[in-house]
Every structure is written in C-alpha cells, then in structure tokens.
Amino acid sequence: MHVLIIHAHNEPQSFNAAMKNLAIDELCAQGHSVETSDLYAMKWNPVASTDDFGSRANPEYLTYALEQRHNHAHGSLAADIQCELHKLLKADLVIFNFPIYWFSMPAIMKGWIDRVLISGVCYGGKRFYDHGGLVGKKAMLSITLGGQPHMFDAEGVHGDLNEMLRPLLRGTLAYTGMTVLPPFVAYHVPYIPQEARTQLLAQYRQHLCSLDTLKPLRFVSLNQFDEKLHPASNQKI
C-alpha cells in the first residue's frame, strides 16, 4: 500500500509532528511505502487564485472549478498543484494529520484541499460519494485537540466530534469517493505530561496496526437516489 500523509503543524517539535513521524516509521515497518507533504515546511500556498492556471478557458471571469478542469486537460495547472495531485492519485491511503483550529483544520490544509482536489478529477457532475473520482482510496484523520473526551460526545459542551468534523469527513473525503476510516484523536494534548503523550503515541501505533480491520464510517450511496437526486422511493437514507 502507498500512503500519503498530509501534515499541517507549524512547530516541528509538536505532538502532531511526533504522530507524523511515528506513522512513517510504523507504516514503513509494515512494508508500506510512505510519502509526506509537510505543508508548513513546504511553505504551501493556500490561496486559490488565477495564478493556479497557465491558461484560461474564460479570461474575463474566473470560475475556479471550470478552470481546474480546463487546465488539467491542457496540462497547465500550477506546478505545486500538479505535484500534489500526482501524490494524491498515486496513494492508496491518505492520512490528514493536524491540530483542530476553531472546530476545523488549519487554513493551510484547507488551502491544500481547495487547490488540489480538482474538479473533473476528484469530483464533478455526479462524480461524488460512491461514484466519486477517488473511489478505491482510503482516508483517515489523525488529529489533536485541547479539550477532553467528555467535551466531544453527543451531550458534551462542544457536541459530537463527528458532527464537528462533518465538513471534512463527509463533505470532502466521502464526497470525493474515498472510504473514510475512523479518525485517531489525541485529546487534551497541551495539558498532559510526557507519560500520557507516550501512551497516546502507543495507542496511535495500535490504530495504524489495525488499518485493515477498522470499520469505515458509513455515508450515502447514489443508488439511494433517483436521476434527479431525490431519495428513491424504495430506499432508506
């Protein structure tokens, strides 16, 4: 299996960096090949703009998704996008490794998604969910939080964690067709002693050893809908 780790943390000595390094070591020990995109180290540009395109289908008005399609077809995407897209399409498993910022991901990672998951390849038309462009690939989040586990259940002060992560789990990963594995979550990281951090890393190693047996998260199938994407009368959503 070929694994791509998208890593977004601005401190090389962070716990997220330790998780990224552990994943590289463990997955390689299992016989997998691993590639990384360390977004801060790469000084990744998160801004989707006209600079992403070497040619324009419509020079007068920017419709970003349509220009993605046009430039992919003509081989004129910006070099950094093309490089990351090549990594993505080569991967069997993509791990997104990051700290939660404001109930979401760091802006630099959102910018990777905006620029690399291009229309016409990863999604577009009815190319989504189990018909998405990235069907056959798996995806997983490995994330850190400042809060404690009880804060992120259905009755917790912040609500259910999967609902917080819904724009990424469903609206990005599942939407583009990837099989979404349960995330690994390291809670309360800034406030725990080294011993507890070591235990979390051991738990993450075990999570990585269980990739073949983890039960994927469930999302809709287009087979549950008619041609106009109304729920099919004989299907339950």
Query: Per-residue pLDDT tens for 48-107?
Result: 999 999 999 999 999 999 999 999 999 999 999 999 999 999 999 999 999 999 999 999
Is the CB of residue 137 less than 8 Å from the CB of residue 177?
A: yes
Q: What is the pTM of this model?
A: 0.94
Is the CB of residue 37 less than 8 Å from the CB of residue 67?
A: no
Whole-angstrom distance, CA of residue 57 vs CA of residue 73: 11
CA 88, chain centre distance (Å): 10
Query: Per-residue pLDDT tens for 4-25?
Result: 999 999 999 999 999 999 999 9
Query: Per-residue pLDDT tens for 148-194?
Result: 999 999 889 998 999 999 999 999 999 999 999 999 999 999 999 99
Query: Per-residue pLDDT tens for 98-153?
Result: 999 999 999 999 999 999 999 999 999 889 999 999 999 999 999 999 999 999 99
What is the per-residue pLDDT for 164?
92
What is the per-residue pLDDT for 126?
87
Q: Cα dist. 28→14, 23, 87, 140 in Å?
A: 21, 8, 17, 17
> What confidence category does residue 235 fall into, taking pLDDT thresholds of 50, 70 and 90?
low
Domains of the chain and CATH, by start: 2-224 (3.40.50.360)
Q: Cα dist. 219→63, 129, 169, 179 in Å?
A: 29, 8, 10, 9
Is the CB of residue 68 less than 8 Å from the CB of residue 118?
A: yes
